[in-house]
Amino acid sequence: MSKKLRIWFNHSFSTTYHFIELIKKNFENREFEIFGTHATSNAVYLALCDHIDLEPQVKDSEYLDFCLDFCLKNEIDILIPGYKRLFLIGENLEEFTKIGVKVLISSDKNFLEEVKDKSKTYQIFEKNKLIEIPESYVVTNAEEFKVAYQKIIDNDNKVCFKPTIAEGGIGFRIIDPKADSYAYM
């Protein structure tokens, strides 16, 4: 009998729950050992993991060391990185390869740089007609923001903003002109 493949999902979105569910219910009935880590113990996908652990709140270099140590200590075969420091992991694929861990991420560094920046990603989507991109503008100051905001509301669209480089939902806001405070946006 072959050994169970050990898969690690690091700090990720709650939708990871569904990926783990699909892996566990695979059509070949292959058994996997699922490891999950997150900064909080109540991340929903941890409920499906065979092994869970908390992630340290550390700088990038220390996080990379944590990842490599975690892989070695737990004999991880595959790392499926979540959004937490996804690009840090992608930029250091060779370190994982050296210890025999496959990482489910592109090895094309140019591609990773392009998708790290939301505005470049939108350009790729538009150029290749992959998906329809909503009306959007890249702004770098308050005046440009006011102009872009006005153009969007003039077209009867809701306005939201997000930094072009940020992980997950960090910095994303929907602007509600009726809100009386930034906290309610």
Do 27 and 37 touch, CB atoms closer than 8 A? no
Can you give the pLDDT at residue 8?
Answer: 98
162 contact partners, CB below 8 Å, separation of at least 6: 118, 171, 172, 173
- Express each pLDDT in 15-51 by its tens digit: 899 999 999 999 999 999 999 999 999 999 999 999 9
Backbone angles phi, psi at 8, to 5 degrees: -115, 125
Report the DSSP pairing between strands 32-38 and 5-9: parallel
Can you give the pLDDT at residue 118?
Answer: 86
Nearest to 3 by CA among 70, 100, 97, 76: 76
Beta strands in 83-158 (DSSP E): 102-103
Report the DSSP pairing between strands 173-175 and 159-161: antiparallel
DSSP conformational letter for 115: H
- Express each pLDDT in 49-89 by its tens digit: 999 999 999 999 999 999 999 999 999 999 999 877 888 99
The answer, as to whether pTM is greater than 0.95, is no
181 or 115, greater pLDDT? 115
Nearest to 94 by CA among 102, 86, 104: 102
- Express each pLDDT in 92-140 by its tens digit: 999 999 999 999 998 887 887 787 788 888 888 888 988 888 888 999 9
| Average pLDDT of the residues in 148-159 | 90
Do 76 and 35 touch, CB atoms closer than 8 A? yes
Can you give the pLDDT at residue 113?
Answer: 79
- For helices 109-116 and 118-127, the axis angle rounded to 10 degrees is 110
Do 66 and 55 touch, CB atoms closer than 8 A? yes
